[in-house]
Structure 1
Amino acid sequence: MREAFLLLALSLVLAHAFTRLELVIEWAKFQNEFGRSYRSSLEAEKRFSIFEDNLREIEEHNRRYYNGEESYTKGINEFADWTDQEFMDYLNTYREEDYSDIPCEVFEPNSSYKVPDAVDWKRITRIKRQGRCGSCWAFGSVGCLEAQLYLRKGVDIALSEQNLIDCSWEQGNSGCNGGGMGRAYQYIYQHGIQSERDYPYRARAGVCQFESERSVVSISGYVKIRKNETDLMAAVASMGPVAIGMHSTKTLKAYRFGILRIRNCKRFPLNHAAVLVGYGRDKGRDYYIIKNSWGRKWGEQGYVRLGNRGSNPCGVADSALFPKVV
């Protein structure tokens, strides 16, 4: 509750009109907090101009939130000096696929199981940050596997996304230029995966350094969920977090707090991978809880509450799966 209050307070600070001096101060704070440095004064001027435009848009949006016209707030994060097009290019690295070279089952909900009104698995795994590498597919597959490993075996360990980025090219992934979660699970099915401690994240593709004797988990395949929200909610409630593909838009760029309702969010193309960790309702608004891979300074400590649950918002039910831990 305290975290939610702080996020809201920070967002409302951005609901007033900035003077030039305040804008310069915010720019300096942003550069310091996110470690920004630019190759030239021209690049710095360009990024400052983009930052100013984004800040003005955040300011206007939060004013509407304060007036009861929006359901969520916006704030400054690592994307604050990016254009909308740069952000969309960053997103388009997830590839949906059906992979037949690995055992795959279809999730069958227990007909006698009563799906609870709300589920929240946020606290069983930690938020990570993918940086400028287009590796959402690796973070989605690993984040789900970490949760399944904890729930099935009681093992709490951070697994290596870098292992997948460097080593799963043969399965059809492309490092920081995109990939798919089915392909990631095919690699793990064939080889296993190392811990993050043994194979740390570098946010760039490199030579595969996998050591089979250091693999810490094996899977026997994965389970696909039919493309409907009834089965999706039953899976999250009864089996735990689920890896998903979703259609993401520029609306996500500055999301800070609240229930994000993306108007006319398409189901296709699915351009981003994440982990569905729960669902709930707040003041009559149904939502999903999605774990992202953009660090704790984005959204609600790294999570987003996506609204319009029940209408398959942004295609969250169209490519959902989870691995079977051995």
Structure 2
Amino acid sequence: MANAKISPIHDTTTPQKDPTFRVYTSSQAATYAQNRGAYPKELYEFILSRHAETGGQFTQLLDVGCGPGNAIRDLAPHFDAATGCDPGHEMIVTAAQLGGTTRSGAAISWRVSSAEELSQASGLAEASVDLLTAATAAHWFDMAPFWKEAAALVKPGGSVALFAKTRMYSHPENPAHEAVQKALDDYEKDVIGPHMMPGNWVLRRFFADLELPWQTDPSQTAFDEGRFERYKWNDYSLDGPDGKDFFGGSQVVPLERLYDLLSTAAPATRWREAHPEDTETERDCVRALMTRLKEVSGKDELRLTQGLAFLLFKRAAY
């Protein structure tokens, strides 16, 4: 299937905070943690290997926009110490309840902090972070102050890894594969598209529009432009090693499980806020998509994956 182009309907260069996740209730945060799955182990392995191969060390990990902590719990066992930061109070409460430990046996530390206030709120010393990560979060950052904070906290020679799940893709082995993919694309473009914010479009475009440190005003020269690395996987393509599956693999997902997953997306939440009379009915945006997927495929489950983006930045060693 040819790559479909979805153009932003908003100015993707204008910072805009997400109004949904940071005001989640405790029950919403718990549901988010339960329904948002882990990232592929192949992605984690690739990120950690690029960090190590470019001179990175494994003492202190900082995860920014950590939400309930799903990603940092997977990465922390590779580091002596780990800190997760998120501006959502209930997200951090949920993260702390779920816990997590590092390779030293120390508990992960949790802080309520935005990406733009890390030096003050993270509790970490200047130039103390080996790897700063943000998992499906950087599209909500005000990038100029974030890069300033990252430059202050990341050690010379350390890394910043911004990675994300982007869009959902149907595996070619699905019955009526192209019709399944069209249903997913139509849902994104026509149904929840009007409820997208600039950050959502930055994410859907695999961070192509994300402001890089040398593009900010003033330019942030602490990161080496010549060592910048950008990776994209699964954009309508089977990028796995054998060309028969996606990078990181695919999963057979029951439609009811897919309903729970897509219901945690902020645009779906905003659609429901705009259509309260249709929520929890067959006209609900996510429920209607499940009905269409069942109609075109004839199945109660589908083999799916998500696109992946990874940007690696190296702190200049001076």
User: Shorter-normalised TM-score: what interval?
Assistant: under 0.3
TM-score under structure 1 length normalisation: 0.25
